[in-house]
């Protein structure tokens, strides 16, 4: 049996899967303390289940996100070397941020060495500031990590955990590398403590199976390994839902996934079972990172969105949520009240819901039913508009080759999977609006928890080889090696695969899972003075998000 | 939090799958390191900087500008259409006021492509700035536009396209034609009979440095723009004036380019040449993007700057000071007198054009109506060493009835003449292009 648990904004969903079926599912209202919430949810879900029957556990938590958003993190220092370009002071983050001289160019050639005395000064400052973790980031460190390694060595054992920029992502983006290293450093202690408490909570309940955390890229990571990459576990909720859609429905063709929550509706796209990723990285609070994430978009339309009448005639829905629907004792009319008034929902206090609709209706000179209908129409309209905008944005992403301009596939959803409590009510309305099949899979209310339970481990590596410099770098695994002048793409592919599989194993991937995707594959001849002086090879491989074998049945059994 | 002071659009199209030939300066690798630098800087994350996706231009976009012989498909490959289309995307972004300015960082370049196109000249087939200008005129109704070409090579293609157009001010700053391809761009080249003084050439000596470029900009270019009062300023932002460029001899820098851009404040910038792909382009492009966005560029400096950039030598400074004195006199103090020909008179000229990349010679005999009311009807009788004989008749956007009538007469004459393999009528008043033979 597999346990999947997803902590949301107001409640926590959990499921137990057995032989590809949902054996149990629960919803628990969140407690102020995350561990308390987890404990309650576990007890409720596992009631009557032998703990040693659980063979795998996956958690999607809000620990990292909340710490970032509430700025509850540990003080982390930063040492940064930049060289020419944007002023590195613009990316200053945390209580003790230090720019030191030193420069690496785009080929990974050291242009200016580090100055030890400046680093010593920075160390003194960080000591004064009382930091207990440190981020180390150099520009172009993914092309040559030498300076980051040098800084790590000079810092010695001071400050405990050190977050080296090149280890988190092989992508080029210095400001995002800074933010990512900072968040990892600032979250490390907190996350480690949380993991240790979680381990205790689990062990106390006799739950000893392999444990994983959900990541925003739709994949998972082994619980203990997540301490090396704590920020990678932030904002995993939307990804859990998408993976749930994949497990419950299969998502063939071009599938738009809509998860309707209380406050927001999250959208994502899945192409023949493969969810789309964001090109650069996720934004956590104010920090733009290089942490891989599924491409999801949140719009301020949910079941509990506030409904108002503006200027005496215009209906306005969302983006604020003032609390629950009036039918559940909330303060403002909501789409949920409209659904109850129209008899589409059984739950809630019908009289309160009707009163909410009468209130809106009075302002529009309509009766309660007509007002409710209008609210649902407007909500559907808003969602429809947001979906169209979302798809349009994806289709207007820049491309850099003639081939892509000419052949560029245009994404046009041919079906919609709707999740979340109001899914069965909203789906027919969306089907009418889009004129494509709208599917509500079984267990649509807990798809997020199913997704967490079913998601397999993901990993990614980047390789860059420069045969003129005679060097190859795979930053994520800290590999830098000499290569011969006749190094080829085929050889690079072998090296990259090896690195990817070993990285995958290290973060908890199934040794049998060697299915990977080529994210980027480019090869350039370097010409100087009319002659070819070398080759520039770039590769990016990934263990892409998918379902563990038990759950990979296109929703047939679940 | 950093933020662009001016909202800036970026159309980036490095054409990673296109080259003139494997070792040609116009090859796949050209913008590779620029991409690396732009990505690593995180420029596309800066609030206020927005990246746009390219779209290919249509053949009809080219027909507003060129007479392609024998036709557009044989002169413009997909890469040329996309490069030109990138400029149109940039133009839309600015004209629709989504951004205040936009930079089309695209290749292949275009400023050596002339009105008549028989092949590739100086790495160019399609004049991407001109395609953009004519698109803006047709779609957005803009009349007066200035193009400031800061590529190291004389923008002879753009000059040719706008030679007779008094509503386009074309200014080219470049390495003196006596020392560099294409060997033109002297001060005497100051516009056709109906457009005297709206073509300005500033031939700078080899080894011109930051000081010289900025001096020329401040002393001449900016006052000329002020006087012309264009609705839109376009920068043909070639980057081969850089001290590290392998095919030119100038002494400009990334910092200099950024400063030039900050002072010029173009509404639209279009990449042209620039072939120091590794040591200059990444930094120059970052500098230009940041300058367009109104960001402080004082930290943009190529790694080789301290070692390899030498401030402009005093003899060069003296030369440029003298040159600016002369040019100011010629263009600002005593602007060129109108052409003496009488209204309605037909002026004929002949010229030879060499296509260096494709090794084609072209001979042109041109007839222009001297006109005080419009840019004048134009007929180009062109034949190339490939054997193609073409008659192209151009009716300008604001053509007066007299010029329209003359053009009609020329069309009939051409149709009676068996020697032409191709006859084209480009009627800009109706925005039409007719292949008559």
Query: In the prediction, which pLDDT does A10 show?
Result: 82
Q: Is B97 a residue whose pLDDT tops 60? A: yes
Query: In the prediction, which pLDDT does A357 show?
Result: 96
Q: Which of A280, A288, A522 faces B16 most closely, judged by CB atoms?
A: A522
Angstroms from A155 CA to nearest CA on chain B? 25
- Rounded CA-CA distance B127/B129 in Å is 6
Q: A2-69+195-236 belongs to which homologous superfamily?
A: ATPase, nucleotide binding domain (3.30.420.40)
pLDDT, mean of residues B3-18: 94
* Higher-confidence position of A313 and B249: B249
Tell me, yes or no, if A525 comes closer than 8 A to chain B by beta carbon. yes
Find, among A337, A311, A312, the residue nearest to A322 by Cα. A337
Contact status, residue B70 vs residue B388, Cβ threshold 8 Å:
yes
B residues 246..285 contacting A (CB < 8 A): 246, 254, 278, 282-283
Hey, are the CB atoms on B303 and A140 less than 8 Å from each other? no
One DSSP character per residue, A428-472 reads HHHHHHH-S-EE--TTGGGHHHHHHHHB-B-EEEEEEEETTTTEE
Query: In the prediction, which pLDDT does A164 show?
Result: 97
Taking each helix axis from N to C terminus, what angle separates A237-249 and A447-454, rounded to the nearest 10 degrees? 90
Contact status, residue B84 vs residue B125, Cβ threshold 8 Å:
no
Collapsed DSSP state (helix, strand, coil) of residue B341: coil
pLDDT, mean of residues B41-51: 95
Respond yes or no on whether the N-terminal peptide bond of residue B36 is cis (omega within 30° of 0). Answer: no
Partners of A401 on chain B (C-beta within 8 Å) are: 15-17
Partners of B42 on chain A (C-beta within 8 Å) are: 86, 173-176, 288
Q: Is B383 a residue whose pLDDT tops 80? A: yes
Tell me, yes or no, if B23 comes closer than 8 A to chain A by beta carbon. yes
Contact status, residue A254 vs residue A434, Cβ threshold 8 Å:
no
Find, among B374, B370, B348, B385, the residue nearest to B427 by Cα. B374
B192 C-beta neighbours (distance < 10 Å), count? 23
B112 catalytically annotated: yes
- Rounded CA-CA distance A179/A165 in Å is 9
- Rounded CA-CA distance A371/A333 in Å is 11
pLDDT, mean of residues B375-381: 98
Tell me, yes or no, if B29 comes closer than 8 A to chain A by beta carbon. yes
Task: Encode pLDDT of A417-438 as tens digits.
Answer: 999 989 999 999 999 999 999 9
Collapsed DSSP state (helix, strand, coil) of residue A90: helix
Q: Is B304 a residue whose pLDDT tops 80? A: yes
Partners of B41 on chain A (C-beta within 8 Å) are: 85-86, 174-175
Query: In the prediction, which pLDDT does A556 show?
Result: 57
- Rounded CA-CA distance B124/B111 in Å is 7
Catalytic annotation, pick one of B112, B118, B154, B242:
B112
Task: Encode pLDDT of B108-124 as tens digits.
Answer: 999 999 999 999 999 99
Q: Which of B1, B29, B78 faces A524 most closely, judged by CB atoms?
A: B29
Residue partners of A549: CB distance under 8 A and separation at least 6: none
Query: In the prediction, which pLDDT does B49 show?
Result: 96
Q: Which of B1, B42, B52 faces A398 most closely, judged by CB atoms?
A: B52
- Rounded CA-CA distance B386/B24 in Å is 23
A80, A83, A85, best to mutate vs chain B, most B CBs in 10 Å: A85
B40, B51, B98, best to mutate vs chain A, most A CBs in 10 Å: B40
Q: Which of B12, B33, B36 faces A398 most closely, judged by CB atoms?
A: B12
Q: Is B82 a residue whose pLDDT tops 80? A: yes
Collapsed DSSP state (helix, strand, coil) of residue A21: strand
How far is the first Cα of chain B from the last one, in angstroms, to the nearest whole number? 61
The domain limits of chain A are 2-69+195-236, 459-550
Residues carrying CATH 3.40.800.20, chain B: 8-333
ipTM of this predicted structure: 0.92
**pLDDT profile of chain A (558 residues), mean per 10:** 92 92 93 94 96 96 91 94 92 96 94 96 95 96 97 92 96 97 96 96 96 97 95 94 95 94 91 90 94 93 92 88 92 95 92 95 94 94 93 90 81 94 92 95 95 96 96 95 96 97 94 89 91 94 91 63
Angstroms from B62 CA to nearest CA on chain A? 18
Looking at domain B8-333, which CATH architecture does it have? 3-Layer(aba) Sandwich (3.40)
B350-to-B47, B180, B381, B390 alpha-carbon distances in Å: 52, 23, 9, 14
- Its pTM surpasses 0.90: yes
SS (H, E, C) A41-62: HHHHHCCCCCHHHCCEEEEECC
């Amino acid at each position: 049996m597999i346990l999947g648990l997803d902590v949301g904004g107001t409640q926590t969903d959990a499921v137990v899967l057995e032989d590809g079926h949902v054996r149990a599912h629960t919803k628990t209202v969140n407690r102020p303390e995350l561990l308390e919430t987890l404990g309650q949810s576990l007890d409720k879900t596992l009631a009557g289940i032998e703990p040693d029957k659980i063979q795998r556990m996956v958690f999607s938590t809000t620990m990292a996100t909340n710490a970032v958003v509430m700025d509850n993190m540990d003080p982390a220092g930063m040492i940064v070397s930049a060289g020419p370009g944007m002023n590195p002071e613009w990316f200053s983050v945390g209580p003790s941020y230090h720019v030191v001289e030193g420069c690496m160019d785009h080929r990974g050639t050291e242009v200016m060495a580090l100055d030890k005395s400046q680093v010593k000064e920075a160390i003194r400052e960080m000591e004064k500031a009382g930091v207990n973790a440190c981020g180390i980031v150099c520009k172009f460190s993914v092309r040559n990590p030498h300076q980051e390694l040098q800084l790590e060595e000079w810092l010695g054992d001071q400050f405990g955990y050190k977050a080296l920029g090149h280890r988190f992502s092989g992508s080029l983006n210095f400001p995002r590398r800074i933010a990512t290293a900072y968040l990892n450093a600032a979250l490390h202690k907190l996350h480690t403590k949380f993991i240790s408490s979680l381990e205790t909570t689990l062990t106390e309940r006799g739950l000893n199976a392999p444990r994983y955390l959900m990541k925003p890229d739709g994949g998972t990571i082994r619980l203990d390994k997540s301490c090396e990459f704590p920020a990678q576990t932030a904002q995993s909720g939307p990804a859990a839902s998408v993976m749930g859609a994949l497990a419950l429905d299969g998502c063939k063709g071009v599938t738009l996934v809509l998860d309707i929550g209380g406050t927001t509706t999250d959208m994502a796209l899945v192409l023949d079972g493969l969810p789309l990723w964001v090109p650069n990285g996720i934004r956590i609070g104010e920090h733009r990172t290089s942490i891989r994430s599924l491409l999801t978009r949140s719009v301020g339309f949910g079941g509990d969105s506030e409904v108002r009448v503006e200027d005496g005639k215009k209906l306005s829905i969302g983006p604020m949520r003032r609390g629950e629907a009036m039918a559940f004792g909330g303060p403002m009319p909501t789409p949920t009240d409209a659904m109850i008034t129209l008899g589409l929902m059984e739950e809630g206090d019908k009289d309160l819901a009707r009163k909410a609709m009468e209130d809106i209706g009075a302002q529009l000179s309509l009766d309660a039913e007509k007002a409710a209908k209008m609210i649902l129409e407007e909500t559907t309209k808003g969602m429809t508009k947001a979906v169209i905008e979302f798809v349009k944005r994806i289709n207007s992403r820049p491309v850099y080759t003639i081939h892509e301009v000419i052949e560029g596939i245009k994404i046009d959803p041919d079906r919609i999977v709707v999740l979340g409590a109001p899914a069965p009510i909203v789906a027919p309305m969306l089907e009418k609006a889009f004129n494509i099949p709208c599917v509500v899979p079984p267990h649509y209310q807990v798809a997020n928890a199913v997704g967490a339970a079913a998601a397999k481990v993901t990993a990614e590596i980047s390789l860059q080889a420069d045969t003129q410099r005679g060097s190859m770098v795979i930053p994520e695994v800290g590999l830098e090696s000499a290569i011969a002048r006749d190094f080829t793409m085929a050889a690079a592919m072998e090296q990259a695969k090896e690195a990817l599989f070993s990285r995958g194993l290290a973060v908890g991937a199934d040794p049998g899972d060697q299915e990977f995707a080529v994210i980027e594959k480019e090869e350039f001849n370097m010409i100087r003075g009319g002659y070819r002086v070398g080759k520039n090879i770039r590769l990016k491989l990934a263990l892409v998000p998918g379902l563990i074998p038990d759950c990979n049945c296109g929703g047939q059994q679940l | 939090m950093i933020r662009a002071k001016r909202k800036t659009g970026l159309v980036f199209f490095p054409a990673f799958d296109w080259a003139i030939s494997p070792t040609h300066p116009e090859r796949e690798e050209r913008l590779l390191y620029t991409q690396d630098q732009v990505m690593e800087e995180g420029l596309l994350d800066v609030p206020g900087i927005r990246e746009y996706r390219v779209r290919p231009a249509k053949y009809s976009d080219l027909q507003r500008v060129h007479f392609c012989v024998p036709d557009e498909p044989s002169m413009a490959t997909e890469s040329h259409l996309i490069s030109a289309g990138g400029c149109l995307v940039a133009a839309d972004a600015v004209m629709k006021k989504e951004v205040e300015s936009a930079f089309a960082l695209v290749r292949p370049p275009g400023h050596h492509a002339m009105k008549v196109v028989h092949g590739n000249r100086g790495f160019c087939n399609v004049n991407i700035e001109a395609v953009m200008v004519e698109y803006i005129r047709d779609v957005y109704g803009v009349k007066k536009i200035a193009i400031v070409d800061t590529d190291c090579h004389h923008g002879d293609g753009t000059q040719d396209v706008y030679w007779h157009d008094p509503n386009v001010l074309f200014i080219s700053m470049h390495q003196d034609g006596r020392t560099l391809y294409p060997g033109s761009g002297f001060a005497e080249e100051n516009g056709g009979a109906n457009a005297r003084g709206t073509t300005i050439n500033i031939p700078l000596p080899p080894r011109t440095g930051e000081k010289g470029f900025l001096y020329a900009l401040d002393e001449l270019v900016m006052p000329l723009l002020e006087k012309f009062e264009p609705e839109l300023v376009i920068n043909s932002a070639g980057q081969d004036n850089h001290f590290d460029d392998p095919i030119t001899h100038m002494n400009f820098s990334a910092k200099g380019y950024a400063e030039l851009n900050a002072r010029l404040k173009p509404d639209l910038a279009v990449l042209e040449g620039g072939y120091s792909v590794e040591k200059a382009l990444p930094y120059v492009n970052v500098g230009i993007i940041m300058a367009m966005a109104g960001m402080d560029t004082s930290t943009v400096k190529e790694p080789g700057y301290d070692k390899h950039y030498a401030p402009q030598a005093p003899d060069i400074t003296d030369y440029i000071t003298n040159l600016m004195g002369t040019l100011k006199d010629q263009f600002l103090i005593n602007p060129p007198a109108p052409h003496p020909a009488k209204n309605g008179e037909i002026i004929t000229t002949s010229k030879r054009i060499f296509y260096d990349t494709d090794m084609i010679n072209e001979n042109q005999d041109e007839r222009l109506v001297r006109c005080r009311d419009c840019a004048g009807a134009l007929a180009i009788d062109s034949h190339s060493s490939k054997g193609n004989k073409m008659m192209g008749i151009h009716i300008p956007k604001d053509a007066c009835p007299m010029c329209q009538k003359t053009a009609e007469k020329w069309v009939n004459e051409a149709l009676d003449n068996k020697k032409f393999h191709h006859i084209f009528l480009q009627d800009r008043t109706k925005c039409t292009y007719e292949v008559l033979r």
